Structure 1
Amino acid sequence: MVVRYALEGSVATITMDDGKVNVMSPRMLAELDAALDRALADRAVVLLTGREGLFSAGFDLPTLRAGGPGALDMVRGGFELAARILAFPYPVVVACTGHAIAMGSFLLVAGDHRVGATGSYRISANEVAIGITVPRAAVELLRQRLTPAAFNRAVTLAEAFEPEGAVAAGFLDRVVPPPELAEAARAAAVAMTGLDMKAHAASKLRAREHALAAVHQAIDADALSFRAGAAR
């Protein structure tokens, strides 16, 4: 297993840990989706976190470079997971334990409340730096959370943000010293258990209606582009 699930009270902690850099592999995506299913059944506030020093380095590059249906399914699955988090009917707190690159950063902007550890790690949509056009779905996820200036720098220049700068940009809501991260994120999640969940879910969907529509349309458009490229 690369994802652990622990329910304590009304908070479900979902921890990504593949022992390496927490790539968004097909296995990781499937286990994250299953963990969200459990949280939904448990009617729990979600606390999503990574291994110490690292949140996620993004998609599994060998699968991506191999192309074909496997790569398409992985990429589509990653963005569908982000869209699911964006619309999840219970609050989702994200504890950013370290580097959040590409798909890792897109999961960050899908969360409701993002707490990061201080440190020298970076948060980046690095596609342009490695010769990849930023997917449309990623653009829409970033657009709905980042400031206009940071959005343009992140998408077109692949700017890497350190934690404090990531707060100003919109990737994170706040940062705390690493020893305080787990407690701060859990405290935020526990506080959210007092919300009226029906009102939370309805308000979230109302507030994000246009963003969610844009993300889902972008996922379909990206899939068409991927298939067209593979056919050439």
Structure 2
Amino acid sequence: MSATVEITNDIALIRMDDGKANAINFDMVAALNAALDTAEAEAKAIVLTGREGRFSGGFDLNAFASLGPDGVYKLLDAGAELLLRIYGGPLPVVAACTGHAIAMGVFILHACDTRIGTAGDYKIGANEAITGMNLPIFAMELARDRLNPSHLTRAMIQGFIYNPQGAVEAGYLDMLAPADEVEAKALAIAGQLAQLPAPAYAWNKKAIRKATLDRIKASLGAHHKL
């Protein structure tokens, strides 16, 4: 299984671990959605994490190469719908970024409410400009919402890749913790957020983010159509 869920004290710990880069493909999306189903039914908050040294390397480029244009758009749709579910979902979601987060990996960070990163020699950023890819609308909309505006050009248009401290300054992350403490820190924050009144948290989260959510929903099937 490329993603698993474990619930303790009302906190769902969802872990991405495909043994490699935690690439986002149909299998990973399905596993994450199944984990979110369990979390939303049984927990009060979520921690989303990766494997040691790797949060996610982004979309599975091998899948992109083999799927053909229609398949690529279907995978982009699946990824966008996953982001919508996290960003607009009812539960608090805390990311424990365990290492490298590239491309779709950072868009998942954007979708989480609070992001704790692992201090160390890790790369975090959107590399589409480097690899010659057009940014999908969901990436642009989440970046506008979450990145420090002074970093938007550098991060998204120029494809700058940050270290964890720089990622905090840019807005990819909210704070850092040592590698052996990042998961515990995320669980502690999730525990605090789980104490907030759930109906108000869910309503406020969806209401504040409604414009962004609506623009991403409207882009499904046409991710590069401005």
| Band of TM-score, shorter chain | over 0.9
In the alignment, is the contact (CA less than 8 A) between 1:118 and 1:176 conserved in 2?
Answer: yes
The alpha carbon displacement at 1:40 in A equals 1.0
For 1:217, the aligned partner's letter is A
In structure 1, what is the equivalent of residue 100 of structure 2?
Answer: 99
Gaps of 5+ in 2: none
SS state at 1:200 partner: helix
For 1:165, the aligned partner's letter is G
SS state at 2:223 partner: helix
SS state at 2:180 partner: helix
In structure 2, what is the equivalent of residue 38 of structure 1?
Answer: 38
> Once the two structures are aligned, what percentage of the paired residues are identical?
42
**Structure 2 residue 16 is the aligned partner of structure 1 residue 24:** no
The alpha carbon displacement at 1:168 in A equals 1.1
SS state at 2:220 partner: helix
In structure 2, what is the equivalent of residue 55 of structure 1?
Answer: 55
In the alignment, is the contact (CA less than 8 A) between 1:146 and 1:170 conserved in 2?
Answer: yes
The alpha carbon displacement at 1:135 in A equals 1.2
- Aligned partners of 2:72, 2:192: CA distance in 1, in Å? 39
**What CA deviation, in whole Å up to 9, does each residue of 1:50-76 have, x standing for no partner?**
000000000111111232332222111
- Aligned partners of 1:37, 1:83: CA distance in 2, in Å? 14
- 1:1-232 correspondence to structure 2 within 5 Å: 1-66=1-66, 67-222=68-223
In the alignment, is the contact (CA less than 8 A) between 1:76 and 1:223 conserved in 2?
Answer: no
The alpha carbon displacement at 1:224 in A equals 6.8
Gaps of 5+ in 1: 226-232
The normalised TM-score by structure 2 is 0.96
Q: Across the two proteins, how many residue pairs are aligned to each other? A: 225
Q: Compared with structure 1, are the counterparts of its residues 148 and 224 closer, same or farther at alpha carbon in structure 2 (3 Å cutoff)?
A: closer
Runs of 4 or more above 3 Å deviation: none
In the alignment, is the contact (CA less than 8 A) between 1:4 and 1:15 conserved in 2?
Answer: yes
SS state at 1:48 partner: strand
- Aligned partners of 1:46, 1:30: CA distance in 2, in Å? 17
